[in-house]
């Protein structure tokens, strides 16, 4: 047992995880009993947002404590829209600062903060570069995106050692619909990437406990990002489940702006709900499979006695549209809640729980992935005035020391395979989306939670639009794109 004042910290990060795939966030057929347990025993943040609805920029925010416009990983590494392709090693990086606090830092799973393995030759490097172990982590080093984790040599070796086989059988409707890619992984759950990842995290827990040092472990799943290939055990309960259409499935809001077309299903006009819900069944089953492995890790913490010493944080890098807004798929290129809002849960053991933080609490304050960095640093023992972070410590909020809290939260987007700059601001019930190449968007989330009515062109909402644009301009540093935004604000001011 760790008798030191510093708690162990476990960060569980899923990928492209929409809120309808979290049982604790509302009425849904998706079953996530272990994540729900974290919410029941911890604190759930109802209004948490990514800093960018793309994998690399969001992950770089967690490790650097900076927004994409500052850390420079503005798109997925390897894409021309990313200003920085490789996360740099620096004393301010999260693992480096935690190591200074006496922590052992472990890493499992998806990294996606350096390009693919085949880029080594371009850089004339003999070993993986800018991977977890080069920034102070112990554990797994997986370059690039990984496509679900199936192709990595370490996973293939795991299958071979355990006489397991990887066999993916694509669903016939997936082949018809082109996108997304889903089906069934044949065999038992022991052959899944998720089981392989949980094994690594449990081994890290044992390794660090044996050394009697506090640990920070960052556990990452590739899912439920596509491809969705659960094993039969997890798909069977969903096979005949009827999933109601999204309330905005028929909405034309997704056809308003040019950039929306980039992520609209290629056969949207013929995309019917019966076909789409088959993909959603696989998405939900994949999520339940991931949840099962999270349960294995929780059981291991309990069995080893480490659960009483470990603060657990669950969140995701961003969400997924999955047919919302008239057939939009994937992420990026919109301001919609489905891709920007994320699940966020903090579970404290009793000995570390803030006195006013009852198990099962739900907080309505605006939270963000930018808050992960200062939260972990404060939990490690760094005083609040020495956090040096752009975000706010959630621990400071939960233990009652935050005399005030933010009134707005920002989401940045700089494109993927095509350059498209967009900024979002949520303040109170209002969500504003600035689109320099198309029509701006304004939604009242209290009256219109599914964002089907764009109020940006309503003359009676002009002052709200001005206020939101000013908030975004104040968030950004001096730059060419900020000047374009200020020009938009000046144009709006001239209307009256």
pLDDT at 313 over 80: yes
Do 25 and 343 contact (CB within 8 A), yes or no?
Answer: yes
Q: Is residue 232 classed exposed, middle or buried when 0-12, 13-18 and 19+ CB atoms within 10 A define those classes? A: middle
Provide the pLDDT for residue 178. 63
Distances (CA, A) of 375 to 144, 188, 263, 311, 335: 27, 38, 34, 11, 26
Q: Quick one: pLDDT band at residue 118, thresholds 50, 70, 90?
A: low
**Peptide bond between residue 180 and the one before it cis (omega within 30 degrees of 0):** yes
DSSP letter assigned to residue 101: T
Per-residue confidence (pLDDT) for residue 402, from 0 to 100: 79
What is the β-pairing status of strands 341-342 and 310-316?
Answer: unpaired
**What is the structure's pLDDT at 177?**
66
Is 120 in contact with 129 (CB distance < 8 Å)?
yes
Residues 6+ apart with CB under 8 A from 216: 8, 9, 10, 11, 94, 95, 98, 103, 104, 105, 106, 376, 380
* Contact present, 440 and 465 (Cβ < 8 Å): yes
DSSP code for 135: G
The 3-state DSSP class for residue 320 equals coil
φ/ψ (deg, to 5) at 238: -100, -10
Please enumerate in sequence order all residues whose Cβ is within 8 A of that of 52, keeping only pairs 6 or more positions apart, or say none: 58, 61, 68, 74, 318, 411, 412, 413, 414
Which pLDDT value is given to residue 121? 47
Helix axes 372-379, 55-64, angle to 10 degrees: 30
Residue 491 has pLDDT above 60, yes or no: yes
Closest CA to 273 of 306, 313, 244, 316: 244
Residue 479: per-residue pLDDT: 85
Q: What is the pLDDT of residues 248-305, one digit of tens each?
A: 998 876 566 777 778 888 777 778 898 899 999 999 999 999 999 999 999 999 999 9
Over the stretch 1-31, which tens digit does the pLDDT of each residue have? 344 489 999 999 999 999 999 999 999 999 9
């Amino acid at each position: 047992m760790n008798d030191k004042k510093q708690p162990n910290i476990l960060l569980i990060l899923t990928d492209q995880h929409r809120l309808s795939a979290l049982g604790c966030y509302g009425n849904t057929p998706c079953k996530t009993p272990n994540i729900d347990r974290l919410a029941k025993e911890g604190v759930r943040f109802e209004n948490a947002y990514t800093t960018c609805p793309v994998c690399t920029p969001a992950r770089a925010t967690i490790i650097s404590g900076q927004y994409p416009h500052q850390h420079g990983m503005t798109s997925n590494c390897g894409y021309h829209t990313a200003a920085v392709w490789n996360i740099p090693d620096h004393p301010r990086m999260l693992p480096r600062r935690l190591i200074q606090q006496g922590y052992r830092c472990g890493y499992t799973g998806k990294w996606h903060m350096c390009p693919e393995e085949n880029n080594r030759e371009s850089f004339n490097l003999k070993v993986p570069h800018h991977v977890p172990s080069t920034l102070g982590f112990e554990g797994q080093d997986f370059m690039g995106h990984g496509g679900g984790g199936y192709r990595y040599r370490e996973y293939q070796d795991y299958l071979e050692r355990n006489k397991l086989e990887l066999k993916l059988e694509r669903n016939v409707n997936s082949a018809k619909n082109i996108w997304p890619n889903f089906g069934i992984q044949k065999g038992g759950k022991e052959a899944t990437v998720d089981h392989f990842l949980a094994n690594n995290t449990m081994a890290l827990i044992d390794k660090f406990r044996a050394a009697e040092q506090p640990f920070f472990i960052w556990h990452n799943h590739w899912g439920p990002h596509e491809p969705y290939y659960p094993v039969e055990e997890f798909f069977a309960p969903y096979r005949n489940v009827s999933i109601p259409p999204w309330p905005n499935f028929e909405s034309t809001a997704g056809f308003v702006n040019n950039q929306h077309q980039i992520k609209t299903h290629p056969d949207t006009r013929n995309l019917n709900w019966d076909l789409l819900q088959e993909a959603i069944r696989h998405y939900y089953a994949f999520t339940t499979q991931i949840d099962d492995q999270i349960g294995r890790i929780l059981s291991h913490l309990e069995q080893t006695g480490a659960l009483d010493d470990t603060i657990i944080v669950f969140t995701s890098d961003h969400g997924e549209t999955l047919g919302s807004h008239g057939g939009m798929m994937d992420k990026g290129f919109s301001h919609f809640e489905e891709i920007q809002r994320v699940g966020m849960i903090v579970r404290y053991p009793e000995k570390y729980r803030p006195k006013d933080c009852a198990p099962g609490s739900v907080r309505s304050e605006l939270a963000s992935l930018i808050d992960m960095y200062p939260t972990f640093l404060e939990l490690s023992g760094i005083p609040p005035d020495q956090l040096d972070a752009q975000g706010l410590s959630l621990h400071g909020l939960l233990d009652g020391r935050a005399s005030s809290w933010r009134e707005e939260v920002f989401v940045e987007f700089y494109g993927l395979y095509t350059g498209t700059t967009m900024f979002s601001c949520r303040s109170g019930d209002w969500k504003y989306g600035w689109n320099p190449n198309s029509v701006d968007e304004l939604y009242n989330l209290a009256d219109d939670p599914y964002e089907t009515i764009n109020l940006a062109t309503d003359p009676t909402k002009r002052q709200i639009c001005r206020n939101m644009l000013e908030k975004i301009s104040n968030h950004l540093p001096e730059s060419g794109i900020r000047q374009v935004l200020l020009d938009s604000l000046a144009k709006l001011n001239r209307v009256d």
